[in-house]
Amino acid sequence: MGSYVTQQWTPRVTDGVPRRFTRAGSYRAFVPDSLLDLDVPLDAHLDALLEEAESRAREAADLAAHTGLGQIGDLLVRSEAAASSLIEGYEPTPRAVAVADFVARGRESAVTVARTLQAVRSSVERAQDPEVSLVWDVVELQRLIAPRHAGVRTEPVWIGGRTPLEAHYNAPPHDQVPRLLDDVDAYLSSRRHRPVLAAALAHAQLETIHPFADGNGRAGRVLIGTVLARYGVAPQITLPVSTALFRDRERYYTALDTYRQGDQGLAIVRVIAEAVTAAAADALRLSGRVTQWQQRQTEALDAYLRDRSSTGRVRRGVAHRVVTDLPTHPVLDAATTAGRYEVTAVAARNALDALAAAGVLRPDRKADRTRTVYVATELLDLVAEPGTATDPDPASAVDVPVTVVDPTAETSCGAWLPRAGRACRLPRGHRGQHR
């Protein structure tokens, strides 16, 4: 199960803070046992659940070589990143995230999800290298997810409440975090458990350790996908496991709580196994929906070109090639289109304008002040979860950069100042508002 250690809490800031949050005192922090010593009492039902999850995941991965599913690999990554961020309360539209990812700027919520998208995308490639440590690679990927709080924490963290004295859960002391991460890494290297079981336990252990000041949930869910890839269950695609977890997130939270209370991982293993099964089905379903969407867009493009042709014939050119590649490149501009298809800038612009006139793409002239970008909005909405916002965001003002390059980011405020064109260099937690 684990043990508790007593820690002392003394607030750093007291000025202007309500008295109840300035109280000092002792609290108990939880330190989990080694995963190498954990034996999960699997019954026949849970074992069958794990078998089904791995079988479904392998079926989806086997179809990755097929044009239909292989082409939507990036959409699956987008689905996983968006749902993982939704669990944490970030709800920008898929269009806003895709544009922020393309122009490297956007509103803060979209940029936050775009950073998670980059981390998930990178994890797919890095998981293929057997020399890469899965756990310590997640530490590196967390720097993409939460650059202002990058790296292993050097302070207490807790869940719930304003101080650890009233928290729902207090994570292990920061000086024990490196040792605990090494233990998770050794556990995954040992391969003592089957893939989905190992992914679930490693994820629950990482969430229990809470090794970062920010981004723990999103980084921890990246680990699920990298374990499945490394163990050979889904080596070529990212299954949108977070999408399934988002649908019943209260049950997911409860399973993590019961893991910390010593249930030997039974609840979280069941939740993750069911999520993997659902994610495999989602991947296949999305493949079919994307194929149908492409057929409709091709027909719409043909109809538009036919109406403009004096002979009534349709000549297939750059615009049709763009439609084929939209699942991989749903946001474009004239320069990238010209370079990708080796055509002139004029030909690229004409193709994009034709696609916009046919309703395939939506031009966005406010995303970047120097160029017009074109977005396959309807395609991106296919990865949105039912019940989440898909209406266009307000004009995507250039507020925050996707990647903040600032050597003082770990100790400074780090908020982006659009008028100054840089991050705030004042100490983190300073008084006053940004203007």
pLDDT tens for residues 234-276? 887 889 999 999 999 999 999 999 999 888 899 999 999 999 9
Residue type at 156 in one-letter notation:
P
Q: In angstroms, rounded to a whole number, what is the distance separating the alpha carbons of residues 357 and 371? A: 18
Give residue 389's pLDDT.
Answer: 47
Confidence band (pLDDT; 50, 70, 90) for 357? very high
* Both tokens assigned to 339: 């370079």
Nearest to 156 by CA among 217, 210, 218: 210
Q: In angstroms, rounded to a whole number, what is the distance separating the alpha carbons of residues 201 and 223? A: 11
**200 phi, psi to nearest 5 deg:** -65, -45
Provide the Cα torsion 242, 245, 250, 253; round to 10°.
-60
Give residue 47's pLDDT.
Answer: 94
Mean pLDDT calculated for residue range 55-60: 92
Number of Cβ within 10 Å of residue 215's Cβ equals: 26
Ranges of each domain in the chain = 2-285, 288-383, 404-435
pTM comes to: 0.85
225, 234 Cβ separation under 8 angstroms: yes
Q: What is the DSSP code string of 340-353?
A: HHT--HHHHHHHHH
Residue type at 14 in one-letter notation:
T
Asked whether the predicted pLDDT for residue 404 surpasses 80, the reply is: no
Q: In angstroms, rounded to a whole number, what is the distance separating the alpha carbons of residues 314 and 283? A: 33
Average pLDDT, the chain: 86
114, 97 Cβ separation under 8 angstroms: yes
Strand partners, 4: 30
Mean pLDDT calculated for residue range 120-124: 87
Give residue 385's pLDDT.
Answer: 64
Query: Higher pLDDT residue, 79 or 71?
Result: 79
Nearest to 48 by CA among 265, 197, 251, 208: 197
Give the list of residues 6+ apart from residue 90 with CB closer than 8 angstroms, or none.
Answer: 109, 112, 113
In this structure, CATH architecture of domain 288-383? Orthogonal Bundle (1.10)
Asked whether the predicted pLDDT for residue 422 surpasses 90, the reply is: no
Q: In angstroms, rounded to a whole number, what is the distance separating the alpha carbons of residues 204 and 187? A: 13
201, 35 Cβ separation under 8 angstroms: yes
Mean pLDDT calculated for residue range 136-165: 91
Q: In angstroms, rounded to a whole number, what is the distance separating the alpha carbons of residues 423 and 401? A: 9
Q: 430 vs 215, 252, 401, CA distance in Å?
A: 22, 35, 21
Residue with tokens 């607030």: 11
Asked whether the predicted pLDDT for residue 88 surpasses 50, the reply is: yes
DSSP 262: T
Query: Higher pLDDT residue, 106 or 356?
Result: 356
Please determine whether the domains at 2-285 and 288-383 fall in the same fold group of CATH. Answer: no
Residues in the chain: 435
Mean pLDDT calculated for residue range 226-233: 93
Q: In angstroms, rounded to a whole number, what is the distance separating the alpha carbons of residues 116 and 219? A: 8
* Both tokens assigned to 25: 């005192």
Instruction: With residue 75 as reference, give the H or E element that holds it.
Output: helix 73-87
H-type helices in 147-265, by residue range?
A: 177-190, 195-209, 216-230, 241-247, 249-260
Give residue 394's pLDDT.
Answer: 45
Query: Higher pLDDT residue, 175 or 422?
Result: 175
pLDDT tens for residues 8-39? 998 876 655 676 667 889 999 999 999 998 88
In this structure, CATH architecture of domain 2-285? Orthogonal Bundle (1.10)
Give residue 410's pLDDT.
Answer: 46
Nearest to 207 by CA among 149, 241, 251, 253: 253
Confidence band (pLDDT; 50, 70, 90) for 190? very high
Q: In angstroms, rounded to a whole number, what is the distance separating the alpha carbons of residues 351 and 246? A: 38
